[in-house]
């Protein structure tokens, strides 16, 4: 996942008493980002040439303070202290004191930490919204669930093969490219259906597998295979890339209406380079034929999540219908403030997109860190995500309408 961190290289926290200090050149950016967390509560303080942002505890509702509750009342509740420590456990120390809080930390990026709180808030909102959507589907599927399951024609690969492909993450990005080509071939994608598209400015190519349909309409299924230097990049994003051959194999059991184009994108971590090149290579007529782009980024950390706010509503409703029919878990967690992925390249060309992931505020720390290794994988959840995506793609093939 390409993580956006405005001013990340210099906006580190310096902390005295109950204030957050940032470099004077980064002050306005930090203020603009933090204000939504405690509307109207930020105040500016100066100490010589330094400028500080003051964040009093009583105003930080996102930490669990109740409206009208003073500092003393907040800290007297043991569950408040536990909640606070749980939410800011990645910061070094938190200590209550009259009139505010004391924060001591070192070399942590203010934007990144605040983003974690934003995920928590948006997750609650979107999970409520998705439950409302789910309720609508429950009404429809209560009488139609069995017929819908019967209509989902696909043959998922067994879990041992999916796990074996997931475990083939080792090597640099060029080795991953070669590995993906071999995985697609082992899944039956060969003889002119498998393409390596050179990408300008990159050593690696986009790896493309085409499952031809009976109509002109297209569904693109994408995931990037490159990774950052820290960690093994199993979750971000070999989890998505290595699933592509298994999805192809599951759908390649009978004729499809749509042509499915499975694309493993290069260079996502350095600015969506591979997906932007892919989209730029398409003519306007080719773009118009794309009914949907399904993006997979950062799976296997837990149950399946959907980025609701950045996804096409119709595609989200269809995914939820598939989850209900297959009795598989699905919740909505937005990651607008954390990063972006290859869906952006398609959104820029007005293509309906949906992004599937597994991030929560608890698992965000795995991204771009040494924690991104196979020990972070929850394989049962990952295989459920695979099964859900198989059914979802089959359902899209039958039901998604042209634009």
More confident residue, 132 or 346: 346
More confident residue, 68 or 275: 275
Regarding whether 364 and 270 lie in a shared domain, the answer is yes
Regarding whether 357 and 251 lie in a shared domain, the answer is yes
pLDDT of residue 387: 97
pLDDT digits (tens, 9 = 90+) for 202-229: 999 999 999 999 999 999 999 999 999 9
pLDDT of residue 43: 59
pLDDT of residue 40: 53
- Is residue 220 within 8 Å of residue 282, measured between CB atoms? no
The greatest distance separating any two alpha carbons of the chain, rounded to the nearest whole angstrom, comes to: 72
pLDDT of residue 80: 43
Domain that holds residue 350: 115-399
pLDDT of residue 153: 85
pLDDT of residue 337: 77
CA distance 190 to 61: 56
Cis bond before residue 237 (omega within 30° of 0)? yes
Give the model's confidence band at 18: pLDDT under 50 very low, under 70 low, under 90 confident, else very high: very low
Tokens of 323: 């989850």
Regarding whether 130 and 104 lie in a shared domain, the answer is no
For residue 261, CA distances in Å to 211, 221, 248 come to 6, 6, 9
CATH code assigned at 210: 3.40.630.10
pLDDT digits (tens, 9 = 90+) for 69-115: 444 444 444 444 444 444 333 322 222 222 333 332 222 333 333 33
**How many domains does the chain fold into?**
2
Regarding whether 125 and 41 lie in a shared domain, the answer is no
Q: Which of 85, 108, 131 is the last residue of a domain?
A: 108
CA distance 257 to 215: 5
Q: What is the pTM of this model?
A: 0.68
Regarding whether 153 and 232 lie in a shared domain, the answer is yes
Q: Which residues of 89-101 are buried (b: 16+ CB within 10 A; e: fewer)?
A: eebeebebeeebb
Cα–Cα nearest to 114, from 338, 283, 391, 344 = 338
Give the model's confidence band at 151: pLDDT under 50 very low, under 70 low, under 90 confident, else very high: low
pLDDT of residue 398: 87
Q: Which of 108, 126, 151 is the last residue of a domain?
A: 108
Q: Which of 88, 108, 128 is the last residue of a domain?
A: 108
């Amino acid at each position: 996942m390409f993580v956006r961190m405005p001013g990340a290289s210099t906006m580190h926290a310096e902390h005295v008493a109950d204030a957050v200090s940032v470099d004077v050149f980064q002050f306005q950016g930090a203020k603009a980002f933090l204000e939504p967390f405690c509307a109207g509560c930020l105040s500016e303080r100066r100490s010589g040439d330094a400028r500080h942002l003051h964040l009093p505890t009583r105003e930080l509702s996102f930490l669990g303070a109740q409206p009208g509750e003073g500092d003393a009342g907040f800290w007297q509740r043991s569950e408040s202290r536990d909640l606070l420590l749980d939410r800011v456990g990645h910061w070094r120390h938190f200590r209550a004191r009259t009139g505010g809080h004391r924060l001591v930390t070192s070399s942590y990026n203010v934007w990144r930490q605040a983003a974690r709180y934003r995920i928590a808030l948006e997750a609650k909102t979107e999970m409520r919204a998705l439950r409302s959507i789910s309720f609508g589907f429950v009404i429809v599927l209560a009488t139609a669930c069995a017929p819908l399951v019967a209509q989902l024609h696909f043959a998922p690969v067994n879990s041992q093969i999916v796990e074996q492909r997931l475990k083939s993450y080792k090597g640099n990005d060029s080795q991953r490219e070669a590995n993906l080509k071999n995985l697609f071939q082992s899944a039956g994608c060969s003889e002119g259906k498998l393409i390596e598209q050179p990408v300008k400015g990159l050593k690696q190519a986009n790896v493309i597998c085409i499952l031809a349909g009976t109509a002109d309409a297209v569904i693109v299924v994408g995931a990037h295979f490159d990774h950052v230097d820290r960690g093994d990049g199993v979750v971000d994003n070999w989890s998505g890339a290595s699933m592509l051959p298994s999805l192809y194999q599951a759908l390649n059991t009978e004729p499809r209406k749509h042509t499915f184009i499975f694309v493993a994108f290069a260079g996502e971590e350095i600015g969506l380079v591979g997906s932007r090149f892919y989209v730029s290579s398409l003519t306007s007529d080719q773009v118009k034929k794309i009914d949907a782009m399904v993006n997979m980024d950062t799976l296997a950390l837990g149950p399946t999540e959907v980025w609701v706010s950045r996804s096409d509503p119709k595609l989200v409703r269809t995914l939820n219908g598939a989850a209900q029919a297959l009795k598989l878990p699905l919740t909505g967690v937005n990651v607008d403030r954390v990063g972006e992925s290859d869906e952006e390249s398609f959104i820029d060309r007005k293509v309906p997109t949906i992004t599937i992931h597994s991030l929560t505020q608890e698992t965000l720390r795995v991204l771009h860190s040494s924690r991104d290794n196979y020990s972070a994988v929850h394989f049962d959840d990952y295989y459920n995500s695979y099964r859900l995506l198989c059914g979802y793609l089959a359902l899209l093939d039958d039901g998604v309408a042209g634009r």
